[in-house]
Amino acid sequence: MMPKRGLRVAAFISLLTALACLFSLTAATYAWFTSNQTVSTSRVDARTGDADVKLEISSYGGAAFRGAESAAPVQVNNADLEWLFPVSTDDLQTFVYNPVADHGMAKQFVQVKNESYFYHGRVYLRATAQNVSPDAKLALYFDQSVTAGGLLAQSDARDRGLLLNAARLGLIFGGSSQPPAIFYLTDEENEAADQAHNTVLNGTLQPDGKVLTMRGSSVVAVPDPSKPLSDAAVSISETETKIPGQPLLEMEVNKIYPVDIYFYLEGCDPDCSDSISYEGVSLHLSFFGILQ
């Protein structure tokens, strides 16, 4: 697990557009061989602060695209989200999981089939604009503004925070060359008593900062690619606006982009332990766009 840096909360300023996703879930976790009870999504909201430019959202793409300020993410996979188990990945394409524990240690891993055990949803985005250059681009970032709801909206209950410490958010932007992006959701780590270092691959206990994936037919350990949300978030205060050097995506105007959203528990994360009990939590995700 990579060191977790703090998330800065900023006041809202309307440079362009905010996009919000709300996830509700109830979870129980027992380190690799755990279960989440229900994951559901509500809607995606869009706001704009520029009359000439706006971000449109739709549940469907192509000819079915219906741009609006709100749209419900559509679940892509057929996973039964009543039970969501910890998995591990470095690319959001190949996931592995531990089917059985050996005296509390995860030693056997197999590839996840049919996208079971994690949430995979999709929405579609399109930037529309007036009075701008035909080759104008919209840079898309996370939005940490208070008015937009911030990046996280979670209960004060202790166990709910523990759950988010082990969670990952993944994004894949279709129609672009942007590689998959994986983020951890909090700058917190569980106390040592609430962590579990129990990933064993080929007889070796894996250290923090490793995740598992497939290379050919073999399960291998690779560096954890997840980053803090703040690395891709606009930070706004009363005196300054800080923009990350690399946006999540540069959108062409009037082009539809599918956005695949993944939410899962990273089994290799020591915070994915039996310290997490049944609790409800809401994850609020916002985006911010700036015309280039």
* 149-160 pLDDT tens trace: 545 444 444 555
130-139, 177-186, 234-243: segment of lowest average pLDDT: 234-243
DSSP strands (E only) in 65-118? 70-71, 74-75, 96-97, 101-102, 105-106, 110-111
Span 229-281, pLDDT tens digits? 888 988 777 777 788 889 999 999 999 999 999 988 899 999 887 766 555 55
Q: What's the confidence (pLDDT) of residue 195?
A: 86
How far, in Å, are 41, 63, 122, 191, 192 from residue 272 at the CA level? 22, 42, 26, 12, 12
Contact 52, 185 (CB under 8 A): no
Tens digits of residue pLDDT in 43-57:
555 544 466 778 888
Q: Which residue has the higher pLDDT, 148 or 143?
A: 143
Integer Cα distance of 214 and 290 in angstroms = 37
Indicate left, alpha or beta for 244 from its phi (over 0: left) and psi (-120 to 50: alpha).
beta
Average pLDDT over residues 99-117: 89
Q: Maximum Cα–Cα distance for the chain, whole Å?
A: 65
Residue spans of the domains in the chain: they are 17-291
Whether 24 has a pLDDT exceeding 50, the answer reads no
pLDDT, residue 112, reads: 94
